[in-house]
């Protein structure tokens, strides 16, 4: 059994929605990012790479590479899932926590879980997405951006 942990942050900038776990959440701002800024999928992708001993997302998808400008983070995630399968590594489960003062994410959580389940090829109940505020403390509490944490386990086949 291997455990992987990931963490990511993106700041808000001008725009009209937030990509979180592959779902577009309506909002009066967007993420400032080289890709689509899906902070939750970035944390998840880093957790997968970490458990596999394969470095981090910046090493595989550098933000200096024009190929990844505006990239769909689900494509990055699925690329890493394929890398794991090539190494005979199986994802067992994923647990994600999104820290955002706003918007309210509860109405979107089920769809987020379904999206991540599909990309990880996992059954319902093996992906969990949680949302919390930081009680108006720190950069998330001031509404400057969103943070996300991911923990996953992998098995060597």
Q: Which residues bind Mg ion (CB under 5 A)?
A: 8, 42
140: helix, strand or coil: helix
Closest approach, Cβ 39 to Mg ion, in A, equals: 6
Whether the link from the prior residue into 75 is cis, omega within 30° of 0, is no
Q: Report the nearest approach of Mg ion to the CB of residue 52 (Å).
A: 18
Nearer to Mg ion, 42 or 74 (CB): 42
Closest contact distance (angstroms) between CB of 43 and Mg ion is 8
Tally of CB atoms within 10 A around 60:
17
Residues counted in the chain: 157
Looking at beta carbons only, is 34 or 111 nearer to Mg ion?
Answer: 34
Comparing CB distances to Mg ion, the nearer of 8 and 119 is 8
Q: Which is nearer to Mg ion, 15 or 156 (CB)?
A: 15
Work out how close the CB of 41 gets to Mg ion at its nearest, in angstroms, rounded to a whole number.
9
Are 47 and 11 spatial neighbours (Cβ–Cβ below 8 Å)?
Answer: no
Q: Which residues pair with 5 in a beta bridge?
A: 151
Under 8 Å between Cβ of 97 and 117: no
Instruction: Report the residue closest to Mg ion, judged by CB.
Output: 42
Q: Which residues are 131's β-sheet partners?
A: 98
User: At closest approach, how far in Å is the CB of 2 from Mg ion?
Assistant: 22
Beta bridge partners of 97: 130, 149
Residue closer to Mg ion (CB basis): 63 or 156: 63
């Amino acid at each position: 059994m291997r455990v992987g942990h990931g963490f990511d942050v993106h700041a808000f900038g001008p725009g009209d929605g937030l990509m979180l776990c592959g779902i577009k959440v309506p909002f009066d701002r967007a993420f400032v990012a080289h890709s689509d800024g899906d902070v939750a999928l970035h944390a998840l992708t880093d957790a997968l790479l970490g458990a596999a001993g394969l470095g981090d997302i910046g090493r595989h998808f550098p933000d200096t590479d024009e190929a990844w400008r505006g990239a769909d983070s689900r494509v990055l995630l699925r690329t890493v899932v394929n890398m794991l399968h090539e190494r005979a590594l199986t994802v067992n489960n994923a647990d994600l926590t999104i820290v955002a003062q706003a918007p309210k994410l509860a109405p979107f959580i089920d769809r987020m879980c379904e999206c991540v389940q599909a990309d990880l090829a996992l059954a319902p109940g093996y992906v969990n997405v949680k949302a919390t505020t930081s009680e108006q403390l720190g950069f998330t509490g001031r509404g400057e951006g969103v943070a996300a944490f991911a923990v996953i386990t992998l098995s060597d086949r």
